[in-house]
Amino acid sequence: MKALYKAGAQPGFELVDRPEPKTGEFDVKIRVMTTGICGTDLHILNWDAWAQSTIEAPLIPGHEFYGEVVEIGAEVRDVKVGDRVSGEGHIVCGTCRNCRAGRRQMCIRTQSVGVQRDGAFAEYVVIPETNVWVHQDPSITPELGAVFDPLGNATHTALAFPVLGEDVLITGAGPIGLMAIAVARHAGARKIAITDVSAPRLELARQMGVDYAIDVSAMRIKDAQKELGMREGFDIGLEMSGHPTALPEMIENMNHGGRIAMLGLPAAKIDIDWAKVVTHMLTLKGIYGREMYETWYAMSAMLTSNPALHAGISSIVTDVLPATEWAAGFAEAKSGVGGKVVLDWTVF
């Protein structure tokens, strides 16, 4: 099969022929149709400090995907050949305290598809049946199915705290931040503001229906509050960027008792005014991945029941390229100016 491959501990990928993965008795083999490019994949491509400390090459990366089941193991019960599926990329042990208590997203032995084991930047990928999400809704296109993983991140973050009637601040208008606009709106948020420095991404946010798109290189968040007619700070904060200035600025603009969900991985150490966190009684909650599998049910239900949300999330996929043009796709994803980039693996 064709696959993007990191042969050793150095920057770059190669599009090469690799053996097809074998299907174990509890596994499902999927013919990959589309894959999304994630920030994690950029780290692996560049072989930065995080990748060097986390990845063991050789490796086939990629964890956001959509495809068709072509083979199932002898012990697979519910997934069938021909099913159209996406995959939960966190493979858990099933026996640690959190797994046994039903908190599988907090498994202490999590292994990630495309990070600690071969992933989906290939014509075929094998994952356990427990990690397969079967799409029952025929309106889920290959492009939309490829971004269920990041949509799950956005949904998990946006619904970490009740947002009904609340004013929501999102820092970072990348694809997941843009998705969070649609989820927070669906869940009943009152005012939604988002920050970034990329004019194209802020324009995408306006198209998603955000109430205020703030260019933080030219405007302070507190001034945007006045423009929105807000008398107090934001009730809910969704930190999606990982930028070292984003969280302190968010804390500065939260209402007393405000709640912050943090998805963005910090790119550097962050100085936080902990006195304000204490005296304003703020809550900070870390978010990693998706709840298994409540998040998957929630986002599928939202997409099925809300055509506007379905259209909005679909519109975030701004570039679809054949897998043979993977380098151009990665360059576009790295540019930080557009929406989600998807590779088409049906071209070989």
Please give the positions annotated as active site.
Answer: 40, 43
Preceding omega of 293 cis (within 30 degrees of 0): yes
**Nearest 10 degrees: Cα torsion 254, 256, 258, 260:** 60
Q: Beta strand 192-196 with 168-171: parallel, antiparallel or unpaired?
A: parallel
CB atoms within 10 A of CB 14: 11
Q: Between the CA of residue 238 and those of 69, 146, 248, what are the distances in Å?
A: 35, 23, 13
Residue of 119, 178, 186 lying closest to 150 (CA atoms): 178
d(CA 108, CA 106): 6
d(CA 107, CA 91): 9
Residue 148 burial class via C-beta count within 10 angstroms: exposed 0-12, middle 13-18, buried 19 and up: buried
d(CA 12, CA 113): 19
3-state DSSP: the chain helix, strand, coil percent, rounded to 5?
35, 25, 40
